[in-house]
Amino acid sequence: FDVRGGRGPHKIKMSPYDDEKHIWVVDDNLHEIHKFTYDGELVLTHGQRGVSGRGPNNFSRPTDIAWLPDGTYFISDGYVGTRVAKFDTDDNFIMDWGQAPVDRTNPGPNEFNTVHAIAISADRLIYVSDRAHARIQVFDENGNFQFMFPTGQRGESLPFAIEIFRDPTGEEFLWVADGSSNRMLKYDLKGNYLYGWGTPGGDYGHFSGPHSLTTDQDGNLYIAEVFSGRVQKFVPRPGADSAKLVGQQLREWN
């Protein structure tokens, strides 16, 4: 990725199932996805630097990556691209799905405008942020459409980031960082809205374009903001209602 003052990577991720803790960098500006060892050695690059396209080794501003337990992974592609690309454990391209909307006023299933984030549930469903359409589309691992749900009105909601977290009982929920309303939104995995919090602004505890979220082993929540250029840390209050907390992300390594 460009370390000379360019836009920088869009997402940095580690597979929760990879004991070797490889680090993946999704560089939307240069249309590349890089895989590094934990100590920074480059071992793989998908895409051709500066070349936008759709194919087994071409991307159009890719945005995010997510894994199945067996190591199969999916790349959301992207700001210009309108697809999800699937790769096997040996990094071979398997398939892709998605297209631009036929009718921009009434986009249908499997039609995308800004494929901005991706997350996978324990039952192997693929949740995809269809950002400009203000909705989440859900597919099985072979790209078959299952259902979709809105995150708000188009023009008023932009689901910048999505992640799946587990509560203390192990139940999974989808959390959405909405970069338009500047709120954190909680949904069950059927798409039912459960809870939300957040206020726009630059003060501590307020948001200005929340773009990524994660938790650490202690349950602390970290939210990166694209417009303010900062990361905020939120610590769970002792005795807090667990239904109001984000919970933990799945990690099978220590």
pLDDT digits (tens, 9 = 90+) for 140-170: 999 999 999 999 988 899 999 999 999 989 9
Quick check: bond before 78 cis, omega within 30? yes
Q: How many CB atoms lie within 10 A of CB 38?
A: 11
Position 76 scores a pLDDT of 99
DSSP label at 237? P
Residues 42 and 168 reside in one and the same domain: no
Confirm if 26 and 66 have CB atoms less than 8 A apart: no
DSSP-H helix ranges across the chain: none
Tokens of 15: 């597979």
Enclosing domain of residue 94: 1-150
Q: Does any domain span residue 16?
A: yes
Determine the 3-state secondary structure of 133 from DSSP: helix
Residues 110 and 7 reside in one and the same domain: yes
Residues 135 and 181 reside in one and the same domain: no
Position 254 scores a pLDDT of 67
Average pLDDT of the chain, as a whole number: 95
Strands (E), 9-158: 11-13, 23-27, 32-36, 42-46, 62-67, 73-77, 83-87, 93-97, 115-120, 126-130, 135-139, 145-150
Residues 18 and 127 reside in one and the same domain: yes
Reported pTM: 0.96
CATH at residue 184: 2.40.10
Question: What's the structural domain count of the chain?
Answer: 2
In percent, the amount of the chain with pLDDT more than 90 equals 91
Domain boundary among 101, 119, 150: 150
